[in-house]
Structure 1
């Protein structure tokens, strides 16, 4: 990666998910019975990287796993893809893994363990790869010290780009606030760093749970995001998207699962529905959706509505398979899915609803 950095660098966990198909999600002091237990490769970082690889993007992963059976399983899974794993290091700590309880109605409870990713730190080669990339993605589960290092690296690259007056632009930054603040304390990105990322990211993504915990609710999130976008207008780093200006950057997306998404760009809110499909497993659909946005908006500079539609199709296809990574589609599969549903508004997808606020 140091010789020829991938177009996209993902910083995130490569983990193993242990799935328990339970009769119910236990209440405090309650119990449940698991009729099936299985394992699958997961982790937000690996999910996004594998999804982008499936869409044909040149992508590398910066991560850390343990020297144990879980770590070997995670690396073997990545080795079966085209993801560049040169920056996935192996440590002595237990590999990050999640226990996922899923009831017959699809409700879930997730418990994560393992120190391997939490102890990731960037070295000079990692920072070099990030600075040379076109796009950098990181999740809020990234340790705060690493998130700050990524931010410093991107900002330094932007300053170097400004000084040299080049047209290539610094790395475009995508940040996914993928967990509640309470869940992240001592493990992931801290609120102060999230604030800086909100004001610096080219694309900021948050699910309902994370948005409620950090912003105080959906409406508060829209207001604060619009204000953060306003601070970027006319600033020296406004050309972070390879010199583009006036095309709705930066952007933010609030995801609502089956209820669609809210996009905030140029201080304006626009709503989009999700595709209606027979969902088998929605775990990881958010990661698939983010990968679709990166593919369309950041790597290909597509307009808002077509980009959301493509990303929604990636997520919808992923929902129709068990586990995350086995169900991630290729570009041809996404295009076929969209082709079957026509150009606009078919099969439960409303391509653009403006709320006027």
Structure 2
């Protein structure tokens, strides 16, 4: 039987590189100190895109590092179970897998424990890894995000090095994914340089305003002139795609009752990439992005409960 969302053994067309984390989601509202049961889940911007692509029938691979423990093995297994190739995920025997603890309520805030994680040890030596080189040879898209260069100096060096492997038939996609906490002790001035080297750039107007001082599509195009296409997602759920030749297309998302917004952005990216690989026109790419984002809201697997004691 073919697993739902499986890639049926075809070589990955899209490589998604970045950190995934274990996540503890509260079973009841309130601060962490009052919650007895948490649900164990796993995710990361890039691996979520890979999983959503697999669900759309696009062969995908996730590339990263995980710890040599139960969380690392479970994380790799969970992503593989969604039909994603994990053959180039390395096991780190010295470092931990990052952990994210969500807190709900009026004063709730996320707690991230990713400093010194296995994925933060990724570096330019990945380009010499036989498993990575094998996947790269057949890939049509390499998908990155602004999270990775914020993890460590070696991760920043890796992202810069990845732009040297470009070839005419390889599209480099880059999602800003602005995380202020990651850049609190690092220089975000490196981001425009990286984003401007991408072929396809995706970013939210709100996060662009926080990172660069503007979320206006025309201003962003002037700031970042090189990408073939810049896709700007707006808070009112319409998206604008601006090509380098000046062509602009805007598409409104269909109304969807959103209970949990996590995954919307990655679903959109997956849909847009799938439509691009299928050769659909500009407007159809935006439409499939919207539809894939909505699909992610109803297709996520349930998390496993974890009871906290003591």
Taking structure 2 as the reference length, the TM-score comes to: 0.79
C-alpha contact (below 8 Å) 1:140/1:175 kept by paired residues: yes
Query: What is the DSSP-based 3-state SS (H/G/I as helix, E as strand, rest coil) of the residue aligned with 1:296?
Result: helix
Q: Name the counterpart of 1:174.
A: 173
C-alpha contact (below 8 Å) 2:65/2:118 kept by paired residues: yes
Residues 108 and 120 of structure 1: CA distance in aligned 2, closer, same or farther (over 3 Å): farther
Matched, 1:213 2:191: no
Residues 132 and 154 of structure 1: CA distance in aligned 2, closer, same or farther (over 3 Å): farther
Q: Name the counterpart of 1:341.
A: none
Distance in 2 (alpha carbons) for counterparts of 1:292 and 1:216: 28
Matched, 1:74 2:75: yes
C-alpha contact (below 8 Å) 1:49/1:60 kept by paired residues: yes
Residues 222 and 102 of structure 1: CA distance in aligned 2, closer, same or farther (over 3 Å): farther
Q: Name the counterpart of 2:306.
A: none
C-alpha contact (below 8 Å) 1:130/1:154 kept by paired residues: no
Distance in 2 (alpha carbons) for counterparts of 1:71 and 1:109: 25
Cα deviation for residue 108 of structure 1 reads 6.8
Distance in 2 (alpha carbons) for counterparts of 1:111 and 1:207: 23
Cα deviation for residue 140 of structure 1 reads 1.2
Distance in 2 (alpha carbons) for counterparts of 1:38 and 1:54: 23
Distance in 2 (alpha carbons) for counterparts of 1:102 and 1:289: 25
Q: Which one of the candidate residues 240, 248, 258 is aligned to 1:279?
A: 258
Matched, 1:9 2:10: no
Distance in 1 (alpha carbons) for counterparts of 2:281 and 2:224: 21
CA RMSD after TM alignment: 3.0
Counterparts of 1:110-259 in structure 2, within 5 Å, are 110-114=110-114, 115-121=117-123, 122-125=126-129, 126=132, 129-130=135-136, 132-143=138-149, 145-158=154-167, 169-185=168-184, 191-219=188-216, 222-229=218-225, 232=226, 250-257=228-235, 259=237
C-alpha contact (below 8 Å) 1:154/1:170 kept by paired residues: no
Matched, 1:301 2:297: no
C-alpha contact (below 8 Å) 1:179/1:209 kept by paired residues: no
Q: Name the counterpart of 1:165.
A: none
Distance in 2 (alpha carbons) for counterparts of 1:61 and 1:133: 12
Q: Give 5+ residue unaligned stretches, structure 2.
A: 1-9, 304-310
C-alpha contact (below 8 Å) 1:127/1:150 kept by paired residues: no
Query: What is the DSSP-based 3-state SS (H/G/I as helix, E as strand, rest coil) of the residue aligned with 1:288?
Result: helix
CA offset digits 1:144-196 (Å, max 9, x no partner): 533543443443443xxxxxxxxxx2421011111245533557xx5354222
Residues 271 and 171 of structure 1: CA distance in aligned 2, closer, same or farther (over 3 Å): same
Distance in 1 (alpha carbons) for counterparts of 2:302 and 2:270: 15
Q: Give 5+ residue unaligned stretches, structure 1.
A: 159-168, 233-248, 328-357
Distance in 2 (alpha carbons) for counterparts of 1:191 and 1:254: 19
Cα deviation for residue 5 of structure 1 reads 6.0
Query: What is the DSSP-based 3-state SS (H/G/I as helix, E as strand, rest coil) of the residue aligned with 2:64?
Result: strand
Q: Name the counterpart of 2:95.
A: 93
C-alpha contact (below 8 Å) 2:166/2:172 kept by paired residues: no
Distance in 2 (alpha carbons) for counterparts of 1:22 and 1:271: 39
